[in-house]
Structure 1
Amino acid sequence: MNRKTALKGILGVVTLGVSSGVLYEFLKSDGGIPIELLSQKRELIAALAGVIIPRTDTPGAKDAKVHDFIIKMITENTERKAQKSFLAGLSSLEHHTYTHYHKQFTDCNNIEKNEVLKHFEDKGNYSPEILNKVRKKLFGPSFFYQLRDLTVQGYCTSFLGATKGMAYDYIPATYEACIPLRNNQRAWATK
C-alpha cells in the first residue's frame, strides 16, 4: 500500500468520525428551546452580547439593545436549521455553565463568562477548514458564530453603535473615496 492511499483512508475515517459526531449532536439536541420561547431568554442573550461588545468609554451591546435585534433576527429571518443550531447552542451554554460553575451565565463574573464563550468558540470550530464548511452546509452556522455575527451586525446598525461607538458623519460635505484614519479614530459607521 502506498502512502498516498493510506493518508486518504485516514482522512476519510477522521472525516466520517467527526461528521457522525456532529450529526449525533445535532439530532439529539432536538429538545432545545422552542422558537416561541426565545424571547424569555432575553436576559441571557443580553448578557452574551454584553460579553462580546462590553461597555467601555463607548456604549456596549447591552446599551444598544442588541439582544432585541438578535431575537428578532433568529425568530423572523433565520432558516430553520440555523434556528435549531442557535437554540441548541443556547441550551448547551446554559447546561455547560451550570455544570462547570454551578450558577447561571448571568450570575457569572466576567472571567467565567469569557471562559464559557471561549469554550463555545473552540467547540464550533474544527481545525481542518473543510469540516467547518461541511458542518455549516448540513447543519447551519454554529451557535457561537451566529451569536457573534448578529451581535456585531446589531451593534453597528443601532443608533448608539453607529453614532457613539463608531465615527459617523450623517451629512458628509464632500465625497472622498479613500480617507485615511487619524490616530485613535474609530472605524466609520458609513461607507
Structure 2
Amino acid sequence: MKRKTAIQSILALVTLGVSGVTYEFFKHGEPLPLNQLPQKKQLLAELAETIIPRTNTPGAKDCKVEDYITKMVIENTDARAQKIFLTGLADVGNYANSKYRQSFVKCSVAQRNEILKHFENKGTYSINILNKARRKFLGASFFNQLRDLTVEGYATSFLGATKGMAYDYIPGVYQACIPLQKNQLAWATK
C-alpha cells in the first residue's frame, strides 16, 4: 500500500511541475512594455560596455551597440524572448539596488562585473544538456541574449569591424587558415 501512495505522490508532483512549466510557456498575459525600452538605452549602453569595454580599441558604447540591441529586441525578437529580456533588465536594476544601494549605471566596474557574473550564473546550469533544453523550450536567458546581441552589434558596426577587428575591405583569394601575427586583431571579413 505504501508503494502505491508513493507512486501517486510522485505522479502528482510531476504533473504539477509539468503543468507549471506549460502554463509559463503558453501564458500570454499583458502586453509587453516595449515602448519603455528606448528609455533604458543608458542602462543598455553600460551593460554592453561592461561586456566589451573600451581599451586600445573602441568599446561597445563607442559603437552605439545600445541602439542595435533596442532595435533587435523590438523588431526581431519573439514575444517570449522579449519578455525574458525586459524582465532581465528590471532584475539587473533591482539586484544592483538591493546589493549595492545604487543603480547599475552608478556602480563601479568591479561591481558591474560581479552583477553580470551573477546573471550569467543564474542563467546557466552546470550540466550542458540542461542548458540546451532550457534554450529550446524556455528560450535563451537574459544574460545570453544580452551577450549575443552585444557581440553582434559590435562586430557589425563600422567602428567594431574596422577598429576593433582586422578588416580587409577587398579580400583577395580565399585562404582557409591564416596565422595571426603578434598583437593582431581578429579578422572581421575572413
TM over 0.5: yes
Structure 1's 98 and 149: CA in aligned 2 closer, same or farther, altered over 3 A? same
For 2:22 and 2:132, the matched residues in 1 are separated by 14
Structure 1's 128 and 172: CA in aligned 2 closer, same or farther, altered over 3 A? closer
Q: 2:179: which partner in 1?
A: 180
Structure 1's 121 and 171: CA in aligned 2 closer, same or farther, altered over 3 A? same
Give CA deviations for 1:20-75 in whole Å, capped at 9, x if unaligned.
99889989xx7896112111100000000000000000000000000100000100
Pairs within 5 Å for 1:39-54: 39-54=38-53
Where do 5+ consecutive residues of structure 2 fail to align? 1-12
Q: 1:8: which partner in 2?
A: none
Pairs within 5 Å for 1:124-163: 124-163=123-162
Task: Report the alpha carbon displacement of residue 137 of structure 1 after superposing the two structures with TM.
Answer: 2.2
Q: What is the letter of the counterpart of residue 68 of structure 1?
A: D
Structure 1's 92 and 25: CA in aligned 2 closer, same or farther, altered over 3 A? farther
1:150 match: secondary structure: helix
Identity %: 61
For 1:45 and 1:179, the matched residues in 2 are separated by 35
Structure 1's 26 and 48: CA in aligned 2 closer, same or farther, altered over 3 A? farther
Where do 5+ consecutive residues of structure 1 fail to align? 1-12
Task: Report the alpha carbon displacement of residue 174 of structure 1 after superposing the two structures with TM.
Answer: 3.8
Task: Report the alpha carbon displacement of residue 84 of structure 1 after superposing the two structures with TM.
Answer: 0.7
For 2:173 and 2:52, the matched residues in 1 are separated by 32
Larger radius of gyration: 2
For 1:21 and 1:108, the matched residues in 2 are separated by 36
Structure 1's 107 and 177: CA in aligned 2 closer, same or farther, altered over 3 A? same
Task: Report the alpha carbon displacement of residue 128 of structure 1 after superposing the two structures with TM.
Answer: 2.2
Q: 1:169: which partner in 2?
A: 168
Q: 2:77: which partner in 1?
A: 78
Q: What is the letter of the counterpart of residue 142 of structure 1?
A: S
Q: 2:88: which partner in 1?
A: 89
Task: Report the alpha carbon displacement of residue 182 of structure 1 after superposing the two structures with TM.
Answer: 1.1
TM-score, normalised on structure 2? Answer: 0.83
Q: What is the letter of the counterpart of residue 184 of structure 1?
A: N
Q: What is the letter of the counterpart of residue 88 of structure 1?
A: T
Runs of 4+ aligned residues of structure 1 deviating over 6 Å after TM superposition are 19-27, 30-33
**Count of aligned pairs:** 177
Q: CA RMSD in A?
A: 2.8
1:165 match: secondary structure: coil
For 1:157 and 1:33, the matched residues in 2 are separated by 28
For 1:49 and 1:37, the matched residues in 2 are separated by 18
Task: Report the alpha carbon displacement of residue 136 of structure 1 after superposing the two structures with TM.
Answer: 1.7
For 1:77 and 1:117, the matched residues in 2 are separated by 24
For 1:50 and 1:79, the matched residues in 2 are separated by 25
For 1:93 and 1:26, the matched residues in 2 are separated by 23
For 2:31 and 2:93, the matched residues in 1 are separated by 11
TM-score, normalised on structure 1? Answer: 0.82
Q: What is the letter of the counterpart of residue 170 of structure 1?
A: Y
Give CA deviations for 1:113-134 in whole Å, capped at 9, x if unaligned.
0000000000000122232222
Equivalent pair of 1:32/1:91 in contact (CA under 8 Å): no
